[in-house]
Structure 1
Amino acid sequence: MDPLTAVSAGKAAAGRRFAFYVSVQLTSVVVPGLVAVTCMAALMLHAQHPGRIGPALSGAAQSLRGPAMILVDVSWLASAYVVGYVGRELAFRLLGMAERLSSRHRVSLSTLYGELEASYGRAALRRCLRTHPLLKYLLNTANGTSSRSQTLRQPGGALRTGNVYEAFLYAKLWLREHNPGLAPDATEAEINILVSTLLPLALGTWSLIALASLNVAAAAATAVVAAAVSAVTFAQVLRLRRIECWEALRNLLEDHEMRLAAARLPGSPFAADPGDDSQDSGAA
């Protein structure tokens, strides 16, 4: 690759990463934060002006003009970002606790290796690990002992067993750099978005019960529905967390096999690995 092409590819990759970061921040921090801050403001107005939120809000809006309105808008947006970020972080902490308490949601090195071998065969897995020696080291259960300091550096709860998080991160970063179409970015974004809905859902339910002056039965039904939605969302996030790790490693292996297949095509500019056939026959 010539230098100009390399620079252009690097800029394109950086642009994709930045666009992904901005989209995740908007959908999982800013938007939920705006909903949460709006609900909090409505609850505060309801506490100060019971039954007269509309006139109070109208009077406050009429008193704001020019720079004051801009200042309020900027402060509102900044507050939304802070509240949304803190709410998402608290939800992830709760998620990590749930994963650590439930062995069903934890991911182990032996399980990952066994699933990959069962799905794609020993030969394909060995070919991939021969190309990625660091991943081979990380997936080796003999190297999977985690120190306390290493465990504290790893986020979440499901990926804290051995080097599972490092293996997942290696696969994800490789795909982002070399094959963005196979990177598990969509799953990561979905996890962030779903987790960030828990705080707005709780505040929205509280606001609905308080502002609508619901009777006891209606308020209880609303709370039950909100709790059920939260439980379903939380269960889906737990499932997606495990899928995300598997998806990254699976896609890395498939990326490797597709590159080998492309190298075997007539007229391919890529050189095939001369040891592939012998490795396949030996593994069989």
Structure 2
Amino acid sequence: MHDALSGKRFFGVTVLNVCITVLEIIGGLLSGSLALLSDAFHNLGDSLSIVISYIAHKISKKSQDSQNTFGYRRAQILAALLNAALLVFISLFLIAEAVKRFSEPETIDGTLMLIVAIVGIVANLISVILLSRGSHHNMNIKATYLHMMSDTLSSVGVILGAVLIKFYGITIIDPIVTILVAIYIMFECWPIIKQAINILMEGAPSLDYEAIRRDLIQIEGVNDVHHVHAWMVDENSVVFSAHVNMADMCLSDVEPVYRKIEKLLKSKYQIAHVTIQAEATRGEGEKLIYDQGRDI
């Protein structure tokens, strides 16, 4: 993950996007292509996205302290949400501009549009390759990677549009390509936005809580489990807490049971942080998920 957004990779992707943005803005203005300008705006968003992602990545590496006892990993979740929201905003703006083009078509230089789009797609592909590592297991990098993939797709659409404009004079394809690409980008952004909001709202991860309860009561010394809470620090780190009813025993006898519980939850359910509160009879028989509003 560190390698994906640091050093030469970070610098290379940033420089490429700035160059593409300048080239496509000039090319879009000279050719009259909204699709090319939309690609330029996406690349501008990409440049900002990469910088935000890199800063968030650095912040997330800070150690836990008294201000953030769970650390700073959620900086990357905030960055992912910001980047995805930025893409949606840009896409909506471009759709609005594309709709205007249907009633107010403009003359488009297909040759210039095609040349600039080809240069753009080559640069975008290089950026995608540079960011590919780490994009599958980190929401922050995934959001940035999505920016790059969306621009690559946008460039493909622009090239197809430029060919139709240059050889067939079908200028209406320009706003159509813009709208299709914008819709696709928003569709791809939605899962990232949804997951980021769920994490920031302390939403529960996808766990089989009844199966966890059955597994825990199989451990010698555990009689019942209740008041379960689970949430995510980031998309890879699940935190779990529960009240566990045990026989009345010495604290030194409780600790080995704790270790068994932690080992089970970490190995079988990939839970990163476990907090257990041992109780004798308090809360015995209550629901697994506490729902009376007085537990926080």
| TM-score interval (norm. to shorter) | 0.3 to 0.5
Give the TM-score normalised by the residue count of structure 1: 0.32
Q: What TM-score, normalized by structure 2, do the two folds share?
A: 0.31
Structure of greater relative contact order (alpha carbons < 8 Å, 6+ residues apart): 1
User: Which of the two has greater helix per residue?
Assistant: 1
